[in-house]
Amino acid sequence: MKYLDEYRDPRLARRLLAELTATATRPWRIMEVCGGQTHTLVRQGIDDLLPAGIRMIHGPGCPVCVTPLEVLDRAHAIAARPGTVLTSFGDMLRVPGSHTDLLALRARGADVRPVYSPMDAVRIAAAEPDRQVVFLAVGFETTAPANALAVQLAGRLGLENFSVLVSHVLVPPAMTALLQDPDCEVQGFLAAGHVCAVMGWRAYEPIAARYRVPITVTGFEPLDLLEGILMTVRQLEEGRAEVENQYTRAVRRDGNTAAQRAVAEVFRVADRPWRGLGPIPASGLVLAPAYARFDAAERFQATETATREDPECIAGQILTGARVPTDCPAYGTRCTPRSPLGAPMVSGEGTCAAYHAAGKERTSR
């Protein structure tokens, strides 16, 4: 298969592993920020093939996993209202809140619809003017441009029955927060290629310089990851702390400036809580004043309820890389993709789901 097999060639993978073994002279701890990269590492067995001493730490880059419980509960309250259509991506429908999830609400009669794009939600609003259509907008820099365009389109169409429940988060502030933790073990980062395709990598340069940590923009195929790890280890061995780009076929230093302009027009940066990580300054996006009329949280004024995390779930420790899924007593028994306790077992980018799909077993029982 053209442009896919090239990045999964076993001969090249063995060559990169041999070069990595020859380069690393001491243990190093590297975090892959993105859940998509975690899935490739685990599914392809790369984490088990790395030279002894090179440890990958799984990061918080799963948009579903870091959406705060308060946002989920608010979405559930809105979905339960008569005359309302709650839309979002499929993964979000199964994420448990404090008391239920969106699929369970749909089974009880709520109008909850999975969509492939926020534009689908705009089309529903245009076609059904007698119903309030809400899009649950989560994710990182990768999904924010499409959501911004959807809000702009709703504005041009004059739709008064469309709104968004926004829970966007930004990657660089989260990386900074992790590095400021005195217990942080991360010595280098693999930055998510799709995030950088939008934002570029300028925002990472001050982080690399201030914390003396190498950051390598990396793709998602096996050879991408092996080369990204090798580039990071080379920097560590040479005492360098720079931003380098392995994902040259998709990423430029300045990113996608048209997408950045759309996001800058519709959103503004704000403090944001992260599930598992807590509040992080300037780490999220909210609607700009000119688009505040599309804010579902304001439109519906959903009653705040006390949130309740499942006491068995250690998602917060998974998201910060402090523990791995197989450390969790509930992993694979009381927590499975069919009956998840927390978001990392639900999402297609969740670390727990990646471990479960790869058949990894608990370390102790």
Using the predicted structure, report yes or no on whether residue 363 has a pLDDT greater than 80: no
Residue 58, classed as helix, strand or coil, is: strand
In the chain, the amino acid numbered 134 is V
Q: Strands 267-274, 278-287: parallel, antiparallel or unpaired by DSSP? A: antiparallel
Q: How many residues does the chain have?
A: 365
What is the pLDDT, as a whole number, of residue 342? 83
More confident residue, 305 or 222: 222
Q: 211: which 2 tokens?
A: 């914390």
Phi-psi region of 307 (alpha: psi -120 to 50; beta: other; left: phi over 0): beta
Residues 302-338: tens digit of each pLDDT: 666 677 778 888 888 888 888 999 999 999 999 998 8
Average of per-residue pLDDT across 110-139: 97
Residue 365, pLDDT above cutoff 50: no
Residues 246, 219 contacting (CB under 8 angstroms): yes
User: Would you state the structure tokens that stand for residue 31, as one six-digit string?
Assistant: 């975090």
- So what's the pLDDT on residue 303? 61
Q: Could you read off the pLDDT of 31-45 as tens digits, one per residue?
A: 999 999 999 999 999
Cβ proximity of 264 and 249 under 8 Å: no
